[in-house]
Structure 1
Amino acid sequence: MTTVVAGFDTCPTWAPAFGYMGAAACIILANFGSAWGTWRAGMGVCKMGIDYPSGVIKNIVPIVMAGVLGIYGLIVAVILTQAITTPTAEGKTQYSVFNGYCHLAAGLCCGISCLAAGGTIGIIGEVGVVSFGMKASGGKRAWSTGEGTDGRDGGDVAGGNDRVNAEDANKLYVGLLIMLIFSEALAL
């Protein structure tokens, strides 16, 4: 924080409002991005569960990664609000307009980047999870293949062609995870 001498020109009483607006923008936009990514990725898991029900637990990774974005926003908002100094009993503050603008910009940077990351994680998660389900199931619905009807197989993929489908699906899953990791880095 920049230290300045208290005076109305550099440290007006309304300067902390900009810092609080930055903290509010950060937490609101980050949680909106988190909700958006969770919604899109969750819809993809629901669609994938129709084709390949045994892959639902494996494919909740995008939902968890989108949920972390809200925590990023909370952490940055707490850091910003802790840096805002309270006015003295006489109504003077050591918090300058410069600090207010800096905290507003920091809150907007974090919030908008988490919003963009949430949308990216949601889109990649939805498309990737649905593609994984189609690839792992061989393009067939679970009820038409009888997946999970035998108590011994546990719904796992078996057989020659099914093994090829599972290997291709695992390669697709690795690519999905790499894209999700770099999308999460967008928020950092």
Structure 2
Amino acid sequence: MSDLCPVYAPFFSAMGCTSAIVFTCIGASYGTAKSGVGISAMAVLRPDQMMKCVVPVVMAGIIAIYGLVVSVLISSNLSTQIPLAAGFIQLGAGLSVGLAGLAAGFAVGIVGDAGVRGTAQQPRLFVGMILILIFAEVLGLYGLIVALIMNSKAQGMKC
């Protein structure tokens, strides 16, 4: 072990892997729960529109997939001896997708809840809700892109 490759360097990679999946799953679960409550309330008034209004739940679930992709990529590079810089970069990549996914999940949940309730009263709101959901979802996609770029920089580093 050298100063550039200490024994604790893989810890930071593992924390990046963990934070990617944990934070995106928290965001996705919040988005699913919040949207699900809105769908349940909406389905009492308009059960015919229930399947159409499941879109926010699907979009919330996609956020967790972003974290899963980054977690798998980071974990595939884990070994007992990695450079400290690579560990820090992978930690940053995990936090990037994780926190962006957390924010996106909260946005999808809030918009999905209000959107499906509004769509039950005025069906013309559906297209507007979908557009807002897309803009909320893309926040998580930005985190995924940054995490992929960061992880690719860490892959070439050797001890």
Equivalent-residue separation in structure 2 for 1:187 and 1:105 (angstroms)? 15
Q: Which residue of 1 aligns with 2:157?
A: none
Select which of 123, 127, 130 maps to 1:177: 130
Q: Which residue of 1 aligns with 2:16?
A: 22
Q: Which residue of 2 aligns with 1:99?
A: 86
Superposition RMSD in Å: 0.9
Equivalent-residue separation in structure 1 for 2:135 and 2:35 (angstroms)? 16
Residue 49 (structure 1) aligned with residue 43 (structure 2):
yes
Q: Which residue of 2 aligns with 1:31?
A: 25
Structure 1 residue ranges, 4+ long, deviating more than 3 angstroms after superposition: none
Equivalent-residue separation in structure 2 for 1:186 and 1:25 (angstroms)? 17
Q: Which residue of 2 aligns with 1:187?
A: 140
Residue 12 (structure 1) aligned with residue 6 (structure 2):
yes
Equivalent-residue separation in structure 2 for 1:133 and 1:51 (angstroms)? 7
TM-score, length basis structure 2: 0.86
Equivalent-residue separation in structure 2 for 1:119 and 1:62 (angstroms)? 11
What stretches of structure 1 of length at least 5 have no aligned partner?
1-6, 88-92, 136-168
Matches within 5 A, 1:1-188: 7-84=1-78, 86-87=79-80, 93=81, 95-135=82-122, 169-170=123-124, 172-188=125-141
- Letter of the 1:179 partner, please give it: I
Equivalent-residue separation in structure 2 for 1:175 and 1:70 (angstroms)? 24
* Offset, 1:77: 0.3
Higher helix fraction: Structure 1 or Structure 2? 2
The structure with the larger Rg is: 1
TM-score, length basis structure 1: 0.73
Equivalent-residue separation in structure 2 for 1:54 and 1:78 (angstroms)? 39
* Offset, 1:52: 1.1
